[in-house]
Amino acid sequence: MPGGVFSETLQSITTTKLKELSKKRNHFENQKEALSFKLSNELDQRKKLQLLLHGVKQSFAVTTSITNKSASDNVTKLSSIELLVKNLEKFLAQAEYDPSISDRTLKQWEQNLMQHLNIQSSKHQYATLYGELVTEWLSAEQQQQADNIFNSSSETDEDFQKIKKETVARTEGRANWEKLVFEPFETDQIAIRSYLSSLFGMDEKNEQAKKALNALRKQVAAFGNDLSSPGQFNPAVLHWTINGLISSGLLSDEKRAALKDFLASPVILTEVADVLNMRLVSIDTWEWNTDLAVEQRRHLNGTHHMFIDEDLLEALFLQYIGVKWSIFFKKAFTDFSNFDGAWLKLNKPIPFIDQTRRDYYIGNQSGYPGSVQGKREKLYKSIYFMSQLPDSELDDQADADGAEEAEHQNIEKNHSLRQPAQKMPMQLQTILNSYNPACSNSDTAQQYSQKTRDLAPSNRNAPSVEVDTLFNDDSANSDKPPKTRMEIKQFLLHLLSTEIIINTSLHGEFTCARSEFESFSPSLPHSTIFCVFEFFGLSEKWLRFFQKFLEAPLKFTDDDISAEARIRKRGVPAAHALSAVFGETILFCLDYTVNQSTDGAQLYRMHDDFWIWSPSQQTVVEGWRSILKFSEIMGVTLNKGKTGSVRIASSETNKPIDPSLPTGDIRWGFLKLDPTTGHFTIDQSMVDEHVLELQSQLGDKKSVFSWIQAWNTYAGRFFTSNFGKPSNSFGRAHVDAMLSSFKHIQNLIFANTNVVSYLKDTLKARFGIDDVPDGYLYFPTSLGGLELHNPFIGLLQLRNGVYEEPGKLMSDLFEAEHDSYRNAKKAFENKSPQVRILMAQRYQKNLDNLDPENFMPFDEFISYREEVSVSGKVSLLEVYENLLKQPGKETAGWDEWDMVLAKAIEGGFASAFEGMDVGYWKWVIKLYGEEMREKFGGLAVVDKGSLPTGMVNLVRSGKVKWQG
C-alpha cells in the first residue's frame, strides 16, 4: 500500500493531472453543448453537417483544410479524426454540386462525427474516474483509521466478535511462538554425533560414505576461509544482494523502497560496499548492536508469522553471507550425492545374467532413449534435492502475493480409525482388463502417438504467425521447469498423480506417506544446529558467528517502550538466507538417512514438507521409520495435521495399510487424495471456510483499487494455487472441478449478482457513473482499466488441452508392448540358423539356461520396462512424460480488425502488456474489445500520459495487507 513520500508524490501528481484534465473536459463539454444547441436549430442537413464539422474541428483543434493541400498530404500520418475531417471537407464540397449525395449519406456522416465527440466525452469521463479512484485509494488507510476509532465506540456485536477472534488468534500465535523461541531445548549431542557417525560411514560400514564426508569437510573448511577474506563487497555484488533481499519478504515496504533507491545511486552503492567490507574484516567480533524489533504479520492463509526488522546495512551483510553459504552447501551436498557409492541410486543396473539374455534375444538397447527410473532421478536431483538453496546469486524462488498453501483448520487430533481397505478405481480396472496377453493389434505401436494426440487436442484456434511475432506469445510453452516454491509444490502433485497411475497399473498397488515438521523454523534446537555444523567441519570462528546471529535480542513492536528485549534460545528467524542454510543442512541428513534405509528411495522434500512413495509398502515403512528416528534424535516434531498415508490398490484384493505408517489424509491446499480412486478432489468445506474469510477481507477494503487487488490476490491467485495446477495426470475432470468451484465461490459471495455487477453498482454509488462497460473492469491499468482478474479464462484456455482419460495411456502402452514383443520375436526367428549358432556360442559361456531356439517369454521381455526402454516406438518413459506435461493454452482467435485495434495502441501492444500473460489478454480483448471500441474508439480507455498509471501499477505491485 502507498505510504510516505511516494504516496504524497503520487497524490500531488494525480491532483495536478486531475486539475488539468478538468479544464480540458469543461472546455470540451462547453463547446459540445454549444454545438448541440446550434445543431438543434438547423433543419437543413447539409448546413447542419457543415456546422458540426466546424465544431468538431474546433473541439479537437484540427487544422486540416482542403485549401491547404500539399504534396505531403498523401504520406503524412493523420489521426483518425483528422483523416475523417479532411475527407468530409472534400465530400461536402462534392455535395454542394452533386445532387446524387443523399440526405441519408449526410446523416451517416453526421452520426460518425457525433460518435467521435461522444467517445472523447467518455475518455474524459473515465480519465476523471480513474483519478478519483486513485484519490480514494490513497486516502483509504487514513479513512480506515478514522473508521476504527469511530467503530470502537459504536461497534455491533458482530464487529466485536470479529475483533475478538482476530485478537485471540494474534495473541495465541505470539504466545506459542514465544514459548518456543525463548525457552531453550537441549538435544542430546552425544546421541546426535553417534547417529551422524553411523549414518555417514564413520563406523567403517560404508567406506564410500566416509570418503564423501571427508571430502565435504574439506570443502566446508576451505570455503569458510575464503568467505572471510576481505574486499568482497562492490556495487556489482550489492546489486544481486539487494535484489535478493527485496524479494525475500523480510523487509517492510519502506525499507524495500529505500533499497531500490540504493540501486539507482552508484555513489551510495560504493559507500555501502566500503562499510560492509569493514564489517567483513571484523567478522570475528560481529554482534547485534541493538535490540531487534519483531513484527507479527498475518498471511493470507490465516497464519501469523514473526519477522525481524533489521538495520538495512545489517540485513545486506547477513543476506550476502547467507546466500554465499547457501550456494556453497547446495553444490557441496550435490557433490556428496554424486560421490560414487555414497548415495544409493534409484536407477540400478540390470543384473548381468538378465542383461545378457536380453542382449542375446533382442540385441543391445543402449542406443534407445532413457528410462523412467533415470527420469525420476533427474527430476528429483534438478527440482527437489536441496530445493530451498539457490544454485547461483541470481536465483529467485519468490512466490507472487497470494501464492501460498491453504491451512487445513478442522484437524482431527486422534486418527485412531483407518478407512476401509481401498478398492480399485474403475479407471485402473479398465486398464488392467485391457492388459490381456492374448490380445493382438499389429498397428498399436504405430498408432500410439496419434492416440495420445487425440487425448489432448491440439490448439485449433492458434493465432497466426503475424500475431505471434507481434505479441511474442509464449503461452504455448507449458513445460517450463518449475522455479518458484509454489510451482515446485504443484509439480510434486503432478508427479504423485503420475506415479499412482503408473504404479497401480504395473505393480498393482502404491503407497505414499507425507508429513511436515511442526513449527520447524522457530522450534529448531540450537544445540542440534551447532552439533550438525561441527560434524560437517565448520570452523570455530563461523560457529561463533552463527551463534551470535541466532541468539538475537528480540522485542515486539507492540510492546511498551519499557519492555526489555529477550534473547532467542531456539529456532531461526523467518525469511533469512542463513535460516535456509541451517534448516537445509540439518534436513540433508534426513534425505540421506531415508536414501540409505530404503535402498535408494527418494524423499521428495520442500524444506520441512516431505513425501515418500513406492509401489512397495515395505519401502515406505522403512523410510517412515528412519524419519521418526531422525525426528527424535534431532529434536523436531511432526505436524499431525499435515501427516498421513495411503495405500491404493488396483484389485479387489484387500491390502491393509501397515499400522506403523501414520494415520491421516494425504492433503495439499484444497486438495485431498481419495484413497479409493487415487484421484485428488477439491475439499469444498475448506473452500467455503476461505470464502467466508474472503468476504471479511473484502469488506475491510475501503477503496475500489484495494478491493480489486484483494480480490485478484485471494479469489484469483490464492484459490487457483490451492486447487492445484492442471496437468495431464490430473485429467480434464480436475479443470472442470476448478471451474465449478470458482462459480460456487462467486455464488456464495455475491448471492444473486456477480463480481462485475457488484463493482458497477459500487462505481455508480460512489462516483455517479453509469453504463460502465464490462471491459473497463477487466482491461489492464496500462490502458486505463481496473485490471480485475477473471479466473475462468485461464482455466478455459487449458481445458481442451488436458487428457480426458489419463489412464488410457497405460492401456495403449500395454497394447503397444505386445506389438513390440511380436516384432522382436519375429526378428529373432527370422535370423538364419548359422547366425543363431554364432550368437549362442558367444553368450552360452555366460548363461547356463539359454534356449537358443525359442524366444524369451513376454513377461521377461517387459520385466525391466522401468529401467530400460523396450524396443519399439512406444515406451513407459513416453507415457510418464506425457502424463507429467501441463496443457498448452488455447487463446481466442483474432481477425484483421483485432490486429488493427492492437496496433493502434499508443506505444504498441507489446509495451502495454509487457510481462503479462499475452494469451489471457488476447482472450479478454476479443471478448470485450468491441464494446470498448464503441465506447472509447479503441482499446485504450484514457490517453497515454493523462494520468499516473505507471506509478499506480508500481504501488499496486506491493503485497496486500490482510486484516487480523
Tens of pLDDT, residue by residue over 489-535, are 999 999 999 999 999 999 999 999 999 999 999 999 999 999 999 99
> What residues form DSSP beta bridges with 611?
514, 604
pLDDT at 574 over 60: yes
- 376 exposure class (CB count in 10 Å sphere: 0-12, 13-18, 19+): middle
Phi/psi of residue 913, nearest 5 degrees = -115, 25
CA 633, 635, 641 angle in degrees (round to 5)? 115
How high is the pLDDT of residue 199? Answer: 97
* 56 closest CA partner among 93, 82, 37, 77: 82
How high is the pLDDT of residue 876? Answer: 94
Is the model more confident about 53 or about 628? 628
CB-CB contact of 702 with 135 (8 Å): no
Other CB atoms within 10 A of residue 808 CB: 18
pLDDT grade for 203, boundaries at 50, 70 and 90: confident
Contacts 24+ apart (CB under 8 A), 857-863: 858/437, 858/818, 858/821, 860/354, 860/357, 861/362, 861/817, 861/821, 861/824, 862/817, 862/821, 863/354
pLDDT at 245 over 70: yes
The set of cell numbers assigned to 38 is 446550434
> Which residue stretches of 380-484 are H helix?
426-434, 444-455, 465-471
pLDDT grade for 257, boundaries at 50, 70 and 90: confident
- 663 exposure class (CB count in 10 Å sphere: 0-12, 13-18, 19+): middle
Is the model more confident about 213 or about 653? 213
The span from the first CA to the last CA of the chain, in angstroms, equals: 16
What is the per-residue DSSP string for 528-584?
Answer: HHHHHHHHTT--HHHHHHHHHHHS-EEEETTS-TTPPPEE--BS--TT-HHHHHHHH
Range in 39-48, 466-475, 495-504, 726-735 the model is least confident about: 466-475
Tens of pLDDT, residue by residue over 771-827, are 999 999 999 988 889 999 999 999 999 999 999 999 999 999 999 999 999 999 999
Question: Residue 928: CB partners within 8 Å, gap ≥ 6?
Answer: 773, 774, 775, 778, 779
What does the mean pLDDT of the chain come to?
Answer: 85
CB-CB contact of 199 with 586 (8 Å): no
What is the per-residue DSSP string for 176-214?
Answer: HHHHHHSS-----HHHHHHHHHHHTTTTSS-HHHHHHHH
How far is residue 879's CA from residue 883's CA, in Å, rounded to a whole number? 6
How high is the pLDDT of residue 465? Answer: 35
How far is residue 687's CA from residue 719's CA, in Å, rounded to a whole number? 8
298 φ/ψ sector (left φ>0, alpha ψ -120 to 50, else beta): beta
How far is residue 356's CA from residue 960's CA, in Å, rounded to a whole number? 63
Within 13 A of 775's CA, how many CA atoms are on the CB side? Answer: 22
* 241 closest CA partner among 332, 312, 306: 312
How far is residue 567's CA from residue 181's CA, in Å, rounded to a whole number? 9
pLDDT at 919 over 50: yes
Q: 288 by DSSP, 3-state: which?
A: coil
Tens of pLDDT, residue by residue over 741-762, are 999 999 999 988 999 999 999 9
Distance of CA 125 to the CA centre of its chain: 37
Q: 637 by DSSP, 3-state: which?
A: coil
CB-CB contact of 931 with 118 (8 Å): no
Q: Torsion angle of alpha carbons 525, 527, 530, 531, nearest 10°?
A: -120
- 46 exposure class (CB count in 10 Å sphere: 0-12, 13-18, 19+): middle
Farthest CA pair distance, the chain: 113
The set of cell numbers assigned to 248 is 525475500
The set of cell numbers assigned to 840 is 549362442
The CA-atom distances, in angstroms, between 662 and each of 29, 149, 417, 420 are: 73, 50, 11, 15
pLDDT at 197 over 90: yes
Question: Residue 743: CB partners within 8 Å, gap ≥ 6?
Answer: none
CB-CB contact of 53 with 114 (8 Å): no
pLDDT at 435 over 50: no
Total-model pTM: 0.87
CB-CB contact of 695 with 749 (8 Å): yes
CB-CB contact of 802 with 735 (8 Å): yes
How high is the pLDDT of residue 422? Answer: 36
Is the model more confident about 700 or about 467? 700
> Which residue stretches of 717-829 are H helix?
719-722, 732-750, 755-767, 774-778, 791-799, 808-829
Q: Domain residue spans in the chain?
A: 4-138, 145-181, 189-343+520-597, 685-802+890-956, 808-884
Tens of pLDDT, residue by residue over 104-155, are 998 898 889 989 899 989 998 998 898 888 888 888 766 665 555 445 444 5
CB-CB contact of 304 with 298 (8 Å): yes
Range in 184-193, 467-476, 709-718 the model is least confident about: 467-476
The CA-atom distances, in angstroms, between 744 and each of 181, 721, 730, 739 are: 42, 17, 21, 9
Tens of pLDDT, residue by residue over 819-861, are 999 999 999 999 888 787 777 777 766 666 677 788 999 999 9
Tens of pLDDT, residue by residue over 358-382, are 888 888 776 567 899 999 999 999 9
* 773 closest CA partner among 932, 628, 914: 932
Q: Torsion angle of alpha carbons 39, 40, 42, 46, nearest 10°?
A: 50
> What is the chain's alpha carbon radius of gyration, rounded to the nearest angstrom?
34
Q: Which is it for strands 566-567 and 553-556: parallel, antiparallel or unpaired?
A: antiparallel
CB-CB contact of 726 with 884 (8 Å): no
How far is residue 472's CA from residue 49's CA, in Å, rounded to a whole number? 45
> What residues form DSSP beta bridges with 309?
293
How far is residue 344's CA from residue 177's CA, in Å, rounded to a whole number? 39
* Positive or negative: CA dihedral 79, 82, 84, 87: negative
pLDDT grade for 424, boundaries at 50, 70 and 90: very low
> What residues form DSSP beta bridges with 681?
672
